[in-house]
Amino acid sequence: MKKEKIIKLFTNKIIIFSAIAILAIAILALFVEKPIVRNPQKEKMATEPLLQYEVINKIQDNEYKLLVKIISEDGLETITYKQPETNEEITVACNNRTQVAIDYIVKEKQDYEFKIKQVGIDEVTEKLNYEATNIPTIGTGEKTHIAHEIKYTWEELNTIAKEISYNYGTEEGQVNNDTIELNVSINGIADTLGIGDWTTVNGKRVRILGFNHDELTKSDAYGEGNTNIYAGISFEYVESLAKSQMNTANSIVGGWETCTLRNTLNTTIYGGLENKEYIKEVNKVYTEKETSDGSGLKKSQDKLWLLSSYEIWANGSIITADGQRYKFYSNGGSSVKGFAWWTRSTDGRRCQGGSCISIPRYKFSNVNGTVSSNRPTTLYDVTPGFAI
């Protein structure tokens, strides 16, 4: 009996000591700082505005497509807004999501209301008023570029080209005729712009040949008081404007400057272009005849021109360097367009069987993209270049 009493007493003491220890640990825990578990994504949401947007593209003058983003760390119940095209009120059930994106078309400087109900918070009304900023930013991009359709209007491209021209140079971050890609933003629309990118003029596809390549005829081409050396962006037609002779007679006298097609391009065809107000006049090198020392080189002033042999191939059956190769072609771009097309380069000599005879000819690109030449009265397709 005495032994049992001792065991019972010992057990009671253990229970008492255990209870005291547990109580002490609990009291101590009150004074120990608990580790804070951070949620970076939620913290970021807390500092962001409730309503945000990014510009997808410009639809027409004064009208833009936006991606409207509603972001709430507490979660979203509903978003109510009016569809601009129909004025119909739409309510989106958000199911407590923290982010919702809406495609939305707006006109500049107009108010649009979004009624937003967050989880556990009274409904609030956020206003959207978009105003385009026509101030571009540009920066050099990658050393390679995947060509794609250009997002920008000709008005926007003209403003971008002006900025590119201002940023001419050979130092790192500057733009020259060796540049392949640029990172561009204007009116809230950010994209890359690079060699081979395409858009249209009067429904005909044109592509970028290079940047800061063509020498401006006038240094104030971008406005009085400006002094620029090069046109910012050079393009060429990929689709044919028409079939034409270079001259109505079999003559290369005077070369490119005096040929019939040059006059047609810079008067009738130029006058009918939708983007003519943005096209800059530039100096183009040409020859009346090929020479080994370049003594036959001259310059013409053109808004529209045919590319020269050297600007395309820079090799093969070319004696005189009548221009500098565009980056599109030096980077491996193809001269195949599905048809034969004229260049502005003359070919005053033709050699056959070891003897050379004088024949007035202009060079052209074959259907397979190789250089050849023929009489100026021959009909080939016309795919001119221009610069903005």
pLDDT, position 59:
82
Q: Where are the alpha helices (DSSP H) in 221-378?
A: 260-264, 270-271, 309-312, 327-330
Tens digits of residue pLDDT in 185-217 = 998 899 999 999 999 999 999 999 999 999 999
pTM, two decimals, is 0.71
Is the pLDDT confidence value at 312 over 70?
A: yes
Mean residue pLDDT of the chain comes to 87
Start-to-end CA distance of the chain, whole Å, equals 112
What torsion, rounded to 10 degrees, do the Cα atoms 177, 180, 184, 189 define? 130
State what percent of residues in the chain have pLDDT above 70: 82
> Which residues of the chain does CATH 2.60.40 include?
40-129
CATH for 40-129 (1.10.8, 2.60.40, 3.90.1310, 2.30.30): 2.60.40
Tokens (6 digits) for 370: 């190789």
Query: What's the pLDDT band for 38 if we cut at 50, 70, 90?
Result: very low
Q: What confidence score (pLDDT) does residue 144 get?
A: 97
Three-state secondary structure readout of 123-141: CEEEEEECCCCCCCEEEEC
> Using CA atoms, how far apart are residues 285 and 305, in angstroms rounded to an integer?
10
Least-confidence region, from 14-28, 112-126, 234-248, 345-359 = 14-28
Write out pLDDT tens, residues 220-265.
999 877 789 999 999 999 999 999 999 999 989 899 999 999 999 9
**Pairwise CA distance, residues 185 & 141, whole Å:** 12
